[in-house]
Structure formats: structure tokens, C-alpha cells
């Protein structure tokens, strides 16, 4: 059995900035926080980590009530941002998922910094959600390595005999590569997000692809092609 754990933003889709727009709109709605945000990186980070930085940037207390208001409003606003921003499914993704999904020897999951509900909203919008059976999400963790450990536990729940080296983590940032290593998985880096191939290569992924249209070469080389 082989398990493929996909990152979302920059790997499966480019949501056209919908996530960031909805996050900022949620802060404005709930807390009146507005104005340009600077110095907060998003690529490869968890939504929990990004939101905590945004709260701090705007001087908003981080407590359970604020957190819940923020999340609920983000989830309410995200579908509209997805509709109005010009995002897209990234090259090669649909064809790859359609080929992998029906296979008996493959299970598909997510390993993403997105909140679980945000991941569902984004992937539903692009018609991709039903391909994925389980996942690790960014609701509770600041460190992406902890999300990977969660995802690994989920995989073990479904497949108790799974070995880490039968798991492939597919992502677009150095953090994706690192978190794959944290669970002993193999890593495919794709240069379809914020990082070019020359920036990903020094982090030594097992496989480096320009985009997922090149997935066949990887599957073939890894003996995973059918
Ligand atoms: Mg990403």
C-alpha cells in the first residue's frame, strides 16, 4: 500500500489569494482590524500560526472566544472569496488524482496547514475534496511537523501496518519537505507555489518536479506507475 499526502495551496490549487483575503476580512468584521499587514509569511505555515501572527499584529487578544469568532467568520467568508478571486487547479493535478483515486494499492490524504474546514471549503470549490480520505490539518498546531505527525497517526488508524517509507508527502515549500522528513516519509517537491525549483532543491526532496504534469516520471521511477 502507498499513501500520498498532498499539501493544498501551491500544490493542488492556487486559490488566487482567497484564503488571505477571507482571513483579513474576518479580522475586519469581528475586530475592526484593518490596514495593510506586513511581515507575515504564509507559505508552508499553518493557519493557526498565521492567524496568531495576525492577531498579534493587530493587537487582538488570543483567547478561546476571539479564536472561535475569527474561525467561524473566516469559514463563512471563504466561499465568497473563492468565487471572486481568480484561482485555479494547478497543472496536472486533476489527471493525477483521477488516475490515483481508483487504485487499490493507493490511498490519498491531505497534509496541509489549512484549518480542516478551510481545506474542505477550498477543495470543494474546485471539486477535489472527495478524492481524499484522511488528513492532518493546521487547526491546533503552529509547527507543520506536528501536522505531519497528526497525519501519520491518521494514516496508521486506517492502515496499522503502514511503513513511513510507503508514504509520500507532496508539497511546494521547504516546510513541506521538512515535515515529510519528520515522519520518515518520502517527499515530492513541486515548484508550483512561491518557491522555484532552485530554492527547493537545496532542501533535498526525494523528487523535484516543475509541476504535477511531470508526475508520471516520478511514479515510473518509484515503481508506482500502473
Ligand atoms: Mg503549500
Q: What is the pLDDT of residues 181-216, one digit of tens each?
A: 999 999 999 999 999 999 999 999 999 999 999 999
Give the mean pLDDT of 128-146.
96
- Which residues have C-beta within 8 Å of that of residue 99, sequence separation ≥ 6? 226
CA terminus-to-terminus distance, the chain: 13
CA–centroid distance, residue 100 to ligand 1 (Å): 20
pLDDT at 39: 84
Q: How far apart are CA 79 and CA 72, in angstroms?
A: 12
**What's the pLDDT score for residue 113?**
97
**Cα 144 to middle of ligand 1, angstroms:** 11
Residue listed under C-alpha cell 513541506: 176
Over 90: is that where the pLDDT of 115 sits?
Answer: yes
Q: Is 146 exposed, middle or buried (0-12, 13-18, 19+ CB in 10 A)?
A: middle
Quick: pLDDT tens for 7-30.
Answer: 999 999 999 999 999 999 999 999
pLDDT in tens, 74-107: 999 999 999 999 999 999 999 999 999 999 999 9
Confidence of residue 40 (pLDDT cuts 50, 70, 90): confident
Secondary structure of residue 65 in the 3-state scheme: helix
67 — pLDDT class (breaks 50, 70, 90): very high
Cα–ligand 1 centroid distance for 178 (angstroms): 13
Q: How far apart are CA 219 and CA 136, in angstroms?
A: 23
For residue 211, the CA-to-ligand 1 centroid distance in Å is 13
35 pLDDT higher than 80: no
Distance 6 CA to ligand 1 centre (A): 9
Residue with grid cell 522528513, as numbered in its chain: 181
Decide if 160 contacts 154 (C-beta within 8 A): no
Q: What is the pLDDT of residue 114?
A: 97
Residue 34 is predicted with a pLDDT of 83
pLDDT at 161 over 90: yes
Q: What pLDDT, on a 0 to 100 scale, did the predictor assign at position 226?
A: 74
pLDDT attached to residue 222: 86
Q: What is the rounded distance in angstroms from the CA atom of residue 69 to the CA atom of residue 9?
A: 24
* Region at 47 (left for phi over 0; alpha for psi -120 to 50; beta for the rest): alpha
All three cell numbers of 52, joined, read 496568531
Q: What is the mean pLDDT of the segment spanning 154-167?
A: 96
Distance CA 105, CA 91 (A): 24
Q: How far is the CA of 54 from the centre of ligand 1 (A)?
A: 19
Q: How far apart are CA 15 and CA 20, in angstroms?
A: 9
pLDDT of residue 36: 74
Average pLDDT over residues 25-47: 90
Length of the chain, in residues: 226
Amino acid at each position: 500500500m502507498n499513501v500520498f499526502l498532498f499539501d493544498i495551496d501551491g500544490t493542488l490549487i492556487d486559490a488566487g489569494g482567497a484564503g488571505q483575503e477571507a482571513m483579513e476580512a474576518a479580522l475586519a468584521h469581528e475586530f475592526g482590524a484593518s490596514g495593510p499587514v506586513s511581515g507575515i509569511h504564509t507559505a508552508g505555515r499553518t493557519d493557526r500560526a498565521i492567524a496568531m501572527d495576525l492577531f498579534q499584529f493587530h493587537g487582538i487578544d488570543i483567547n478561546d472566544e476571539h479564536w472561535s469568532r475569527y474561525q467561524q467568520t473566516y469559514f463563512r467568508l471563504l466561499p465568497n472569496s473563492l468565487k471572486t478571486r481568480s484561482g485555479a487547479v494547478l497543472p496536472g493535478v486533476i489527471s493525477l488524482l483521477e488516475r490515483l483515486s481508483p487504485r487499490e494499492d493507493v490511498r490519498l490524504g491531505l497534509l496541509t496547514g489549512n484549518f480542516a474546514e478551510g481545506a474542505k471549503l477550498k477543495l470543494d470549490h474546485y471539486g477535489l475534496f472527495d478524492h481524499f480520505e484522511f488528513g492532518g490539518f493546521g487547526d491546533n498546531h503552529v509547527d507543520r511537523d506536528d501536522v505531519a505527525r497528526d497525519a501519520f497517526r491518521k494514516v496508521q488508524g486506517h492502515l496499522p501496518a503502514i511503513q513511513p517509507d510507503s508514504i509520500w508527502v507532496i508539497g511546494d515549500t521547504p516546510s513541506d519537505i521538512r515535515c515529510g522528513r519528520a515522519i520518515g516519509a518520502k517527499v515530492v517537491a513541486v515548484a508550483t507555489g512561491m518557491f522555484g525549483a532552485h530554492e527547493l532543491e537545496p532542501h533535498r526532496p526525494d523528487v523535484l518536479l516543475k509541476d504535477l504534469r511531470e508526475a508520471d516520471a516520478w511514479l515510473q521511477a518509484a515503481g508506482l506507475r500502473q
